Structure 1
């Protein structure tokens, strides 16, 4: 009879401290698994990148104050454009025209005026939307 037994694990192995992890997945232990999901937005042109940035900024500004019915409708239109650009890198003329029309009739508060202007300027740079 041979003695093939291994010493019993006491669970007191090495200690690892991780302060922060950025840009990857980690797995520890005998049966550990690591999964990573990454989302990347690829825009069709710098003009769409500028529009996406401006739309996101305006949506953040709208969240800061009390919301009126006009704010809800504007945010819904902006969300459509933001989602389309994030998914496809561009947005169709229809959603862009609706945002432009909504902003033209929207009476922005002082806190959102700069953001509204930035979105309108970014929209003006897109050739698919005639002035």
Structure 2
């Protein structure tokens, strides 16, 4: 155990407080910890990344994802990772996402986000 005041930068648990980590409790507990730092220099790519994340967030608000929702989420995740890794979305990947979104039978709750992502892709790819 480390000395007083030295937690070594790891997780710290105190009754009523958790910092530096994720905890799950109960029979079906699930802990997820996501730390991302993405620096994207092109404002169009940053806008696309923001719209992709917003759409993914809306998809995950649904009570139950359909197979189409899950496929769309997988492609959105791939675009998100690509922009985070390379600073831009691959044109082939963006083309596939654009085609899926154009065919996607979006629910009313996600229609605005689908449109926003399509517009952001158009700004990036022309």
Q: Which has the higher helix share?
A: 2
Structure 2 match to 1:125: 123
Is 1:44 the counterpart of 2:19? The answer is no
Alignment equivalent of 1:84, drawn from 82, 85, 92: 82
Gaps of 5+ in 2: 11-19, 21-34
Please list the CA deviations of residues 56-90 of structure 1 after superposition, one character each: whole Å capped at 9, or x if unmatched: 00001111112111101111100000011112211
Structure 1 match to 2:51: 54
TM-score between both structures, scaled by the size of structure 2: 0.72
Structure 1 match to 2:28: none
Q: Which has the higher strand share?
A: 2
TM-score between both structures, scaled by the size of structure 1: 0.69
Tell me, in whole angstroms, the C-alpha distance in 1 between the residues paired with 2:101 and 2:107: 12
**1:44/1:111 CA distance change after superposition, 3 Å:** same
The structure with the larger Rg is 1
Tell me, in whole angstroms, the C-alpha distance in 2 between the residues paired with 1:31 and 1:103: 50
Aligned residues: 101
Structure 2 match to 1:96: 94
